[in-house]
Amino acid sequence: MIDYPVEEKTHKGGANVHYIGVDHHKQYSYLTVLDEDGSMVKEGRVLNIQSEVKKYLEVAGEGSEAVIEAGRSTYTMLELLEELEMGVKIAHPRGGANDCPCSD
């Protein structure tokens, strides 16, 4: 058996990168935060107010990556997550994050 070194994804502060799933709605979003192993760190419903989302995602840190399902108000959440220095992908409701031409 070959023992390969583990490559950790980290942000500037040295903490592990987290992955965030965002189910964005008009007034609330449901956020799920996973660690690099795919284990759930946090999940819950958050009011779509910048300070509330920022507070909720403090556990994730800069450099984390998020996926948002495409919808009418997707870009509002996208801009907020980008302000928090997170990578963001937009997923088509019928496919994955790589299926949407607007995802980047």
* Residue boundaries of the structural domains of the chain: 19-91
pLDDT digits (tens, 9 = 90+) for 79-96: 989 988 899 999 987 765
Pairing of strands 40-47, 28-34: antiparallel
Question: How confident is the model at residue 71, as a pLDDT?
Answer: 84
pTM higher than the cut 0.85: no
pLDDT digits (tens, 9 = 90+) for 36-46: 888 899 999 99
CATH number of this structure's domain 19-91, picked from the four choices 3.40.630.30, 2.60.40.1080, 3.30.420.40, 3.40.50.10090: 3.30.420.40
Q: How far apart are CA 22 and CA 74, in angstroms?
A: 10
3-state SS assignment for residue 5: coil
Which are the contacts of 36, defined by CB distance < 8 A and separation ≥ 6? 8, 9, 16, 17, 18, 19
Structure-token pair, residue 7? 């490559």
CA-wise closest residue to 21 among 72, 90, 103, 75: 90
pLDDT digits (tens, 9 = 90+) for 48-73: 888 999 999 988 877 899 999 888 88
3-state SS assignment for residue 50: helix
